Amino acid sequence: MKLQGTMQINDKGHLEIGGCDTVELAENFGTPLYVLDEQYFRQNCRRYYRAFTEKYDGVVLYAAKTLLTLAVCRMVDEEGLSLDVVSGGELYTAKKARFPMERVYFHGNNKSAAELKLALDYKVGRVMVDNPHELQMLDRLAGEAGVQAKIMLRLTPGVEAHTHEYIKTGQIDSKFGMVIENGQAMEIIKRALALEHIRLTGLHCHIGSQIFELQSYAHAAEVMLGFAAEVRRETGWQPEEMNFGGGMGIYYTAADEPQSVSKFADTLAQAVKNLAPQYGLAAPKVLVEPGRSVSGPAGTTLYTVGAVKSIPGIRTYVAVDGGMGDNPRPALYQSRYEALLANRAAQQPQEMVSIAGKCCESGDMLIWDIDLPAPAPGDILAVSSTGAYNYSMSMNYNRLPRPAMVLVKDGAADIIVARETYDDLIRNDVVPERFNEGRVAKIAGAGR
Ligand code: LLP
């Protein structure tokens, strides 16, 4: 496993993150356990902030969907980033963390009236409008509230990024945004410009996720600015800001070769800077919405090894105490991860094994075919690059409680998400009162 962020192997041969011995973390907080490397997370925020604001007129939005908790919101705020939220729940979390609402951008392809009202009530910075239905609804709600809503419009530029099919969102056949090529994008812009309670500030696109080809962004810039020039000719309006979404790829395994954030900025923001005058436009502010590349590499999950089952001549299954409940990505996208035994981190791999989760699903396999030093019950398995889309996509399948999360820095570990309890699992369950009155048996038995 590649050591990332503040990871190192200490003199006991244990994996250390943020100056904390992960074997002790597992003992003190139990497993499965999400460990977030504070220094690394903040460093990733800072890299983006510097790359897009020092040389360019940029704004960096952290994509909350990758990992959002109250403490995470506070760090994002302290590092000067803005926030991209996609639901009332994410918005509420930001509000409760006292995140400055003018730096919140509200996304989503099907926001409800209640969510839009909440956004207006909180006075979010921008609503990222996806479709005409939402535009109309927002205009009405803003009118009722006596305000003008600042919006950006999400467009589908038809740029294909090289990534997994499920996480490709820039192509034309997409549930997100309005298509440029067939005229729908132009139509919604004209509508937005005509509405009294709407102020259109800019345009947005997102071309995919886990992208390594920076040229895809330069291409998106070309398509978006070319279109903006057309809009200007037809309407006289031009965007003050252009948002190019997130998508920068990260290291999961040796097959991944991430690009640096400064190269990303130099490709995208420079392309916008160069193209704007060519298209007769004033250079817009460049917005980006990185998520995975901020939170992903800063997270590690610790598990305890339980049953080890060898099928001679076939494979060895090493079962851990978590799985698709805390990390659905391998089951959903066949994602690959690296891992090591945290309590024997200095030992050489001896055996190829496969890591199984504990859900009742054959598909609940965390890692197929990984070389490890012959895992035994009680070993602590550390899986790296789990900071993004793990906790945020976690679930209670099989009624497994969700893990705790600790934030580690300089030898200190603080719980930022408490471990779910069995009581949490039944908290919202309700038994109809009539079950206690003996009526059910009668109804069920009637006429049989
Ligand atoms: N902006 C928009 C409009 C997005 O749709 C996304 C991700 C982002 C920003 C952040 O993209 P990032 O920098 O994290 O690549 N659950 C999948 C990924 C889904 C991506 C959804 N949109 C996974 O686990 O790989």
Pairing between strand 380-384 and 299-311? antiparallel
pLDDT band at 173 (very low <50, low <70, confident <90, very high): confident
pLDDT band at 163 (very low <50, low <70, confident <90, very high): low
3-state secondary structure of 52: helix
What's the rounded Cα separation, in Å, for the pair 170 and 206?
6
pTM of the predicted model as reported, rounded to 2 decimal places: 0.96
pLDDT of residue 170: 63
- DSSP string for residues in 259-271: PPHHHHHHHHHHH
Distance 260 CA to ligand 1 centre (A): 18
Distance 183 CA to ligand 1 centre (A): 26
Q: Taking Cα atoms as reference points, which of 215, 224, 204 lies closest to residue 152?
A: 204
pLDDT of residue 366: 98
Q: Report the mean per-residue pLDDT for the chain.
A: 95
3-state secondary structure of 45: helix
Per-residue pLDDT tens digits for 309-357? 999 999 999 999 999 999 999 999 999 999 999 999 999 999 999 999 9
Whether residue 248 contacts residue 292, with contact meaning beta carbons closer than 8 Å, is answered with yes
Q: Which residues are catalytic?
A: 360
pLDDT of residue 446: 54
Distances in Å between the Cα of 218 and the Cα atoms of 76, 265, 268 are 27, 10, 5
Protein residues with CB under 6 Å of any ligand 1 atom:
63, 66, 84, 107, 167, 169, 206, 209-210, 245-248, 289-293, 329, 333, 388-389
Helix segments in 380-429, DSSP class H? 422-426
Q: What atom in ligand 1 is closest to the CA of residue 154? A: 3
Distances in Å between the Cα of 97 and the Cα atoms of 18, 70, 72, 385 are 24, 5, 9, 25
Q: Average pLDDT of 270-299?
A: 98
Whether residue 354 contacts residue 366, with contact meaning beta carbons closer than 8 Å, is answered with no
Q: Which amino acid is at 136?
A: Q
Min mean pLDDT across 164-173, 191-200, 252-261, 417-426 is at 164-173
CB half-sphere exposure, 127, CA atoms < 13 A: 34
